Amino acid sequence: MKLLEGITVLDFCQFLSGPSAAMRLGDLGARVIKIERPGVGDAGRQLTLQNLMADGDAVNFQIINRGKQSYAANLKDPADLERVKKLVAKADVMISNFRPGIMARMGLDYESVKAINPGIVYGTVTGYGTKGPWVEKPGQDLLAQSMSGVAFLNGNASDPPVALGLSLADSITGTHLAQGLLACLVRRTKTGLGGQVEVSLLESMLDLQFEQFSYYLNNDRKLPERSTIGNANDYLGAPYGIYRTKDSYIAISMGAVSTLGELIGEPELLQYHGAEVAMEKRDEIKAIIARKMLTETTDHWVELLEGAKYWCGRLYNWKEMVNTDFFTSLNMLTDIRRDGEDKPLWTTKCPIRVNNQQMGGGVPAPRLGADNDSINREFGL
């Protein structure tokens, strides 16, 4: 039996944060019905990355919405809205990520839905919460990275702030939403009570930084300083960072500076002892390491340092990573192409394993409205 078998989720979301939470519940065995506008559907169907499409929909849309069903309904049409409310009455979970007020105008806010289905677990994603001066600002990943301080932490001291090259705010917010929904479902099994779960991009990004941000709050609110060389964590001393070698790059993390000096044959490093010195003299030390790393290949340094159990790792791009024996052993890829498509559509499997079994599977994303007829028959709509 799948972990969430018997749980029905209504996904009223667009783009990434909300749909990714619904996707994860689906990976864990829930049935996910995506409610979409007739004719156009989730706006994410046409929001491509590098214009990559498959079978008329954006590839990224299909990845985020794998394993779901699609029910097309015009929520401004009274008849369609009534059918959707009948689905709400029989659902376990409902998720939306529209701006505050939009669901209320359709009579699908939490209080209205609770009146239809008291036991429902209702999740919402916003950009900046439901109160305060930023409520109307657009909730978007780059903006959340920038406004939360995450971009401020990245790059070397001489660089401008650097955003991470992925939709981190959307992804982590979807993860937090899934956690909250699952907690409410557990409580419901014991008490019968539903509940409302609220998350926002900005709060999730602040929480993602809880270690460094808490240090700032408790250290006289002194801003951290980025390292001038190989900056990887503003609060950690040398050798922590990424260094260029003779042919590529190496990451060096935890270990005594003097021990590193002995291993790589760099006498200049032998004078630095203790974590306090490693932080105070961070840039000075890292400059010495950087010069030494350039004298040999990555293979040379990795073999040397790993042999001495000094923490390090080579830097892989995706082309290199997928060709490693380790990646192959994970069996982490799945083909979610739709019926009739010749070309594979690859994505990652759910990273959660339970009793050595990988969760989720290679079920495609639905075509718009593909499940209207079967759902209407099943639910008597």
Find, among 128, 56, 61, 120, the residue nearest to 99 by Cα: 128
- Count CA atoms closer than 13 A to 276's CA, side-chain side: 0
* Interatomic CA distance for residues 31 and 232, integer angstroms: 40
Residue 231 burial class via C-beta count within 10 angstroms: exposed 0-12, middle 13-18, buried 19 and up: buried
- CA-CA-CA-CA dihedral for 103, 72, 23, 179, to nearest 10: 20
Q: Which residues contact 307 (CB under 8 A, 6 or more apart)?
A: none
d(C-alpha 176, C-alpha 354), whole Å: 20
User: Is 271:277 a contact under the CB 8 Å cutoff?
Assistant: no
DSSP state of 248: S
**What burial letters (b/e) apply to 55-93, b meaning 16+ CB within 10 Å?**
bebbbbbbbbbbbbbbbbbebeeeebbebbbebbeebbb
What six digits make up the tokens of 236?
Answer: 């950690």
What is the rounded distance in angstroms from the CA atom of residue 363 to the CA atom of residue 376?
22
Let me know if 170 is a catalytic residue: yes
Closest C-alpha to 35, from 6, 3, 65? 65
Q: How far apart are CA 231 and CA 156, in angstroms?
A: 5
Q: Which position among 57, 109, 170, 371 bears the catalytic label? A: 170
Helix (H, G, I), strand (E, B) or coil at 95: strand
CA distance linking residue 162 with residue 381, whole number of Å: 50
CB atoms within 10 A of CB 372: 17
Cite the active site residues: 170
